[in-house]
Amino acid sequence: MTQATQSPLVLGAMMFGTTVDERTSFALLDRFVERGGSWIDTADCYAFWAADTGRGGDSERLLGRWLVARPGVRDRVRIATKLGAEPLEPGSWPQRREGLSPAAVRAAFTGSLDRLGLDRVDLLWLHQEDRSVPIEDTVEALAGLGADRFGVSNHPAWLVERGRAHARAIGARPFDALQLNATYLRPRPGTLPPGVAHRFGILSDEQADYAAEHQMDLWAYTPLLSGAYDNPAKPIPAVYDHPGNTARLAVLDEVAAESGASRGQVVLAWLLGRGIRPMLGGSKLAQLDSALEGVALKLSEDQVQRLDAPDHAGWADPYARR
């Protein structure tokens, strides 16, 4: 593999080892590294809904095999995994999942390290909130784990702040990253787009402002609507069907045509311009190449202003930097 300029894109390994076979997964991982990618995101529960066993772990196991098969690549990639959402028994999610108790956190992380074949990870995420456990207890459990950084996904801002405050109080490393759903279009209020199973899963104005104020990283999952921006066979989900998005799609088409880019590439560039690191979970090399070109696309100031114009017409922009 040849060294390349580091890309801000995150490669999501959600379906690796289940619907994306090993040969294809290895090819995607290799291409990602060849083109300067570094962050790879997985979870202990990936992808239980697509696995014959009804349990997660296939994605982490595949990444572990890839790391063994590519000596030296560990020095070039950063591994992020999540815990808290694995079903306790096949078919029991979401009613029964591992959750975030200290015992569950320690056991889940031990399992992740074993499947990945690592002694530590670069970033460990809490996958979704667990109101049955005080966040302070979870933070204390995290403090003893082999992770360089900690982040949260699908949590309300107030709970993130409680966790960060407790970490500071005990001299532990606070959460410094948020992972949420974000894209150029806005869902109708009170709705959840496909792929978002948590009521605090969509990046809100409050969460974006909190992250900016505390200089936390923002990662965006499903930024390309699973291909719906550019694939005619995949209609844009109905939750995005409203007048504000009619205006957004019109200017998105204009900017894409001017840039010689696809809609999706413009969306990735637009997100990155707001300090949001987009995540790609594709299954084809062409999808990965297109996304890597999208995050390298430079939008002009005029194009950014026009893309933002629907917000200035009355639609609040939850992703704007403060």
Residue-wise pLDDT tens digits, 105-126? 999 999 999 999 999 999 999 9
Phi and psi for 32 in degrees, rounded to 5?
-60, -45
Structure token pair of residue 292: 């890597």
Q: Which CATH superfamily is domain 10-312 in?
A: NADP-dependent oxidoreductase domain (3.20.20.100)
Residue-wise pLDDT tens digits, 199-253? 999 999 899 999 999 999 999 999 999 999 999 999 999 999 999 999 999 999 9
Q: Is 202 helix (H, G, I), strand (E, B) or coil?
A: strand
The residue with greater pLDDT, 104 or 195, is: 104
For the CA atoms of 181, 183, 186, 190, what is the dihedral angle to 10 degrees? -10
pLDDT at 197: 86
Q: Considering the candidates 46, 210, 229, 319, report the single residue annotated as catalytic.
A: 46
Residue-wise pLDDT tens digits, 252-273? 999 999 999 999 999 999 999 9
Q: Where are the domains of the chain?
A: 10-312
pLDDT at 314: 53
Q: What angle do CA 75, 79, 84 make, to 5 degrees?
A: 160
Structure token pair of residue 159: 């709970």
pLDDT at 282: 85
When pLDDT is averaged across residues 127-136 and rounded to a whole number, the result is 97
User: What is the rounded distance in angstroms from the CA atom of residue 249 to the CA atom of residue 272?
Assistant: 18
User: What is the rounded distance in angstroms from the CA atom of residue 29 to the CA atom of residue 67?
Assistant: 10
Q: How many residues does the chain have?
A: 322
Would the pLDDT of 320 be above 70?
no
**229 included as an active-site residue:** no
pLDDT at 5: 75
Residues 286, 197, 200, 98, CA torsion sign: negative
pLDDT at 285: 97
Average pLDDT, the chain: 94
A 10 A CB-CB count for 148 gives 11
When pLDDT is averaged across residues 49-60 and rounded to a whole number, the result is 97
pLDDT at 93: 86
Structure token pair of residue 48: 């239980």
pLDDT band at 321 (very low <50, low <70, confident <90, very high): low
The residue with greater pLDDT, 2 or 167, is: 167
- Which amino acid is residue 154, in one-letter code? N
User: What is the rounded distance in angstroms from the CA atom of residue 31 to the CA atom of residue 1?
Assistant: 9
Query: Percentage of the chain surpassing pLDDT 70?
Result: 95
pLDDT at 318: 58
Residue-wise pLDDT tens digits, 69-102? 999 999 999 999 999 999 999 999 888 999 999 9
User: What is the rounded distance in angstroms from the CA atom of residue 147 to the CA atom of residue 83?
Assistant: 13
